Amino acid sequence: MTSRYIADYETSTHSLPGQSLGWLSQLRADAFKKFSDKGFPSLREEEWRYTNVSAIEKKLFKPQLNSKNSVVDTAWLDDYRVEGALTFVMLNGHFSASLSTLDGLADDVVIASMANALEQQPELLKKYINQSVSNDEHSFVAFNTAWFTDGLFVHIPAKCIVEKPIQLLHVVTEAECLATSRNIIALDEMAEAKVIETFVGIDESYLSAIVTEVSIAKNAELTLFKMQSEGNKAYHFGGTYINQQRDSRFNHHNFAFGSLLARNDIHTDLDIASECDLNGLYLGIKRQHIDNHTRINHLKPHAISRQLYKGILNQRARGVFQGRVFVAEDAQKTDSEMNNRNLLLSNDAEIDTKPQLEIYADDVKCAHGVTVGQLDEKSIFYLQSRCIDEETARNMLTFAFANEMVDKIKIEALRDMLRRQVLKYFPQAGMGNNGI
């Protein structure tokens, strides 16, 4: 199947951004070779044993070599704009200036399309592309490196604190679209920023193959939000790869609602005394398959990592959580906690959860916990004794389980948007939009 992409690739490389740069065209060619040798990941690979991607091999997704004037339902799109944020819109794999609202940015902060940045600041980009992740990671990364058509480039200079959230609104409006975006978020020393990645699309089959590389310099802090609300026939492969220097902080809030099949990879490398806090919520219905894969590499001493992933799976939905914490020999005084909690609401729903600790240092504190269960009957009776009927009580408790993750969000407009998404899953919960 990769042969089709090979044929396409050979005729289209010249259209990809940055091809005039020798280092990049070489990088893309190497990446493409890796992809064509290996193909998409198979169930035989340990990291992919629960997620079968063979469905996408049978599809013929169309590379988007040039930006087109696609028709967009702006009222629909406006629902996904986070009020008060600077919004950078990617439409079918290309930056759309007309749909974006980027006014009011400080002069030294860069928010640019990758295509543009590769023309304007190629040396800066060379510092970041394939620095947080290599093409050997897995073939989706190689695939993205070879194919990326555009993306968001954010660069925050040292000591700059960006108050306004920066939103990447990634939109697909064409059936069979292959949207390959490569995003780079780079914070220099002591910078602080909040970035929101939002993925939406039509209810047709398409493929979003995204790689976001994050670089957080010393003592800088990034809060990254991801809301994946792709169309219900979409395939979403999103990798977020973070490189954290000493004393840096990375907070991640990862919400997976949409798509038919979704896979998230979140990998971070922790230097001395850096911290990461990974939060996730996945809601699956019908035949949705949602896979979250985290890897935290404690490479140096005194770093702290926290993870809480919660999932609710109904009908025939399937969830996967594979969380891996690696503690290197040198990473003494590591403090790590990993938790995965799941609610299964039907007999046919499934969760495969696999927390893994791999520890080579001897003076560390590492904990992990997993729960898989149904709603607590005591809580249901308590609510019934407070006049709430059983069905409403169940909806309320289920919503509350999810809402705990939404309540962590400090940006009010985003929190409201996330809550609306969660409420779509519990239409009978009888809750207002202000939470419960």
In angstroms, rounded to a whole number, what is the distance separating the alpha carbons of residues 179 and 63? 7
Among 397, 417, 422, 423, binds other proteins (CB under 8 A): 397
> Residue 388, interface with other proteins (CB under 8 A)?
yes
The residue count for binding other proteins (CB under 8 A) is 28
Q: Given the rule CB under 8 A, which of 61-69, 178-186, 331-339, 375-383 is the region that contacts other proteins?
A: 375-383
Determine whether 188 is exposed, middle or buried from the number of CB atoms within 10 Å of its CB (0-12, 13-18, 19+).
middle
Q: Which residues contact 147 (CB under 8 A, 6 or more apart)?
A: 9, 16, 32, 63, 178, 180, 209
- Please state the closest distance from residue 234 (CB atom) to other proteins, in A: 29
Shortest Å, Cβ 414 to other proteins: 18
Q: Which stretch binds other proteins (CB under 8 A): 90-98, 108-116, 141-149, 382-390?
A: 382-390
Q: Quick one: which of 107, 378, 427, 433 contacts other proteins (CB under 8 A)? A: 378
- Residue 231: CB minimum distance to other proteins, A: 29
Q: Specify whether the CB–CB gap between 212 and 180 falls below 8 A.
A: no
Nearer residue to other proteins within complex by CB, 363 or 377: 377
**265-298 b/e with 16+ CB inside 10 Å = b?**
bbbbbbbbebbbbbbbbbbbbeebbbbbbbbbbb
Rounded to the nearest whole angstrom, what is the least distance from the CB of residue 286 to other proteins in the complex? 24
CB of 22 or CB of 432, closer to other proteins: 432
Specify whether the CB–CB gap between 96 and 90 falls below 8 A: yes
Determine the Cα–Cα distance for residues 222 and 284; give it in Å rounded to an integer. Answer: 28
Min dist CB 400 to other proteins, Å, is 3
385 binds other proteins (CB under 8 A): yes
Q: CB under 8 A: which stretch of 16-24, 178-186, 311-319, 391-399 binds other proteins?
A: 391-399
The answer to the question of residue 42 lying near other proteins (CB under 8 A) is no
Please answer whether residues 193 and 164 qualify as being in contact, where contact means their C-beta atoms are separated by less than 8 angstroms.
Answer: no
Q: Using alpha carbons only, give the angle 307, 313, 317 rounded to the nearest 5 degrees.
A: 120
For residue 123, what are the contacts with CB-CB under 8 A and spacing of at least 6? none
Element (H, E) at 118: helix 114-120
SS3 content of the chain, % helix, strand, coil (to 5): 25, 40, 35
Q: Does 404 bind other proteins (CB under 8 A)?
A: yes
Does residue 374 interact with other proteins by CB under 8 A? no
Under the binding rule (CB under 8 A), the answer on residue 375 touching other proteins is no
Q: Which of helix, strand or coil describes residue 399?
A: helix
389, 410, 420, 428: which one binds other proteins (CB under 8 A):
389
Q: Does 381 bind other proteins (CB under 8 A)?
A: yes
Q: Contact, 228 vs 255, CB < 8 A?
A: yes
For residues 273 and 388, which CB has a smaller minimum distance to other proteins in the complex?
388
- Is residue 400 near other proteins by the rule CB under 8 A? yes
Nearest to 45 by CA among 395, 355, 293, 402: 293
Query: Tokens for 173?
Result: 């409006």
Binding status of residue 435 toward other proteins by CB under 8 A = yes
Question: Minimum distance between the CB of residue 410 and other proteins, rounded to whole angstroms?
Answer: 16
Q: Does residue 386 bind other proteins (CB under 8 A)?
A: yes
Q: Smaller CB distance to other proteins: residue 328 or 400?
A: 400
* x-marked contacts with other proteins along 414-433 as a string, rule CB under 8 A: ----------------xx--
State the Cα–Cα distance between residues 194 and 181, nearest whole angstrom.
Answer: 19
Told to check if 407 binds other proteins by CB under 8 A, we report yes
Identified binder of other proteins from the candidate list 187, 272, 396, 409, rule CB under 8 A: 396
Between 31 and 402, CB nearer to other proteins: 402
CB of 347 to other proteins, least distance (A): 20
Question: Which C-beta is closer to other proteins: that of 101 or that of 374?
Answer: 374
Q: How far is the CB of 340 from other proteins (least distance, A)?
A: 16
Which segments of 300-386 does DSSP mark as H helices, in order?
Answer: 377-384
Distances (CA, A) of 208 to 135, 200, 368: 18, 10, 32
* One residue of 362, 377, 427, 433 binding other proteins per CB under 8 A: 377
Query: Cα(112)–Cα(153) distance, rounded to whole angstroms?
Result: 5
What is the residue whose two structure tokens read 């974006």?
100
Stretch of 77-85, 167-175, 273-281, 370-378 contacting other proteins, by CB under 8 A: 370-378
- Choice from 79, 108, 203, 390 touching other proteins (CB under 8 A): 390
CB count in 10 Å sphere of residue 13: 16
Q: Which residues contact other proteins (rule: CB under 8 A)?
A: 376-379, 381-390, 392, 396-397, 399-404, 407, 430-431, 435-436
